[in-house]
Amino acid sequence: MDDFMEEISVAAKEIFQVGGLVITNTFFWTLVITAMLVVSMAFIFRKPSLVPNRVQNFFEFILESLMGFVDSITGSGVKTNEIFPLAATLFLLIWSVNLMELIPGLGVFPILRSPSSDLNFTIALAIISIVSVNYYSIKHLGAGKYLGKFFNFKSPIQFFVGILEFVGEFSKVISLSMRLFGNLFAGEVLLIIISSLCAYLLPLPFLALEVLVTFIQALVFATLTVVFYSIATIEMEHG
């Protein structure tokens, strides 16, 4: 039992090194799954058919549904076209790595661990999300006017509000990363414990629930990215 509990660790496990670069289990699978997604998308949509096969049809359905959902948030075709590539990439990547939790042997073999249960991975994605949103804000507003949102010296109140806005950008990173990490790490621990007690019928309801959780958490992360973007652009238009 003690050996088993040692497998439940917040820190990712080192599996090998390349020229002094430590490769952890979560980093390894991040690279593998990212490469698989890039190759798969390039292959599927290299020569899209007018009569799509089942695989192309499946991915087209996901992307079209996601685009319609993003459009319902932004309310603008121009804004949707701008933020959709980032939102779709985040959704597909997070959903794919989340599904690793369902692989048999999780918690038994050190190499098997979902990247989403590693805080380094979720923080990295959150930084990419918020930096991208701020980039689009600068692109639309201009650097000077954008920075004026955070550093406003017209009055003490506006200066204080600006500082709160600045701190708020960091809180968004913390919120996005901790929400994804907390849900996926808790789910992974739950599956490991349940599977250790009974490896057959008992884990099935929890596996079914985790399938839903993996999808919802990916959608929530992508949705919040779009919401942050939409709020920023609305403020710029009416500010």
User: For residue range 120-158, what is the model confidence (pLDDT) as tens digits?
Assistant: 999 999 999 999 999 998 888 788 878 888 888 888 888
Per-residue pLDDT at 9 exceeds 80: no
Per-residue pLDDT at 58 exceeds 80: yes
Residue 24 phi/psi, 5-degree rounding, is -90, 170
Specify the pLDDT at position 8. Answer: 66
Cα–Cα distance for residue pair 70/227, rounded to 1 Å: 9
CB–CB of 9/24 below 8 Å? no
Per-residue pLDDT at 42 exceeds 70: yes
Q: b vs e for 186-212, b when ≥16 Cβ sit within 10 Å of the residue's Cβ?
A: ebbbebbebbeeeeeeebeebeeebee
Q: Find the domain containing 141 and state its range.
A: 2-238
Instruction: Give the residue with greater pLDDT, 8 vs 212.
Output: 212
For the chain, what is the domain count? 1
CA dihedral 191, 216, 35, 30 (to 10 degrees): -50
Specify the pLDDT at position 4. Answer: 45
Region 150-168 average pLDDT: 85
pTM higher than the cut 0.85: yes
The one-letter amino acid at 198: C
Query: What share of the chain has pLDDT > 70, as a percent?
Result: 91
Specify the pLDDT at position 176. Answer: 95
Cα–Cα distance for residue pair 140/233, rounded to 1 Å: 8
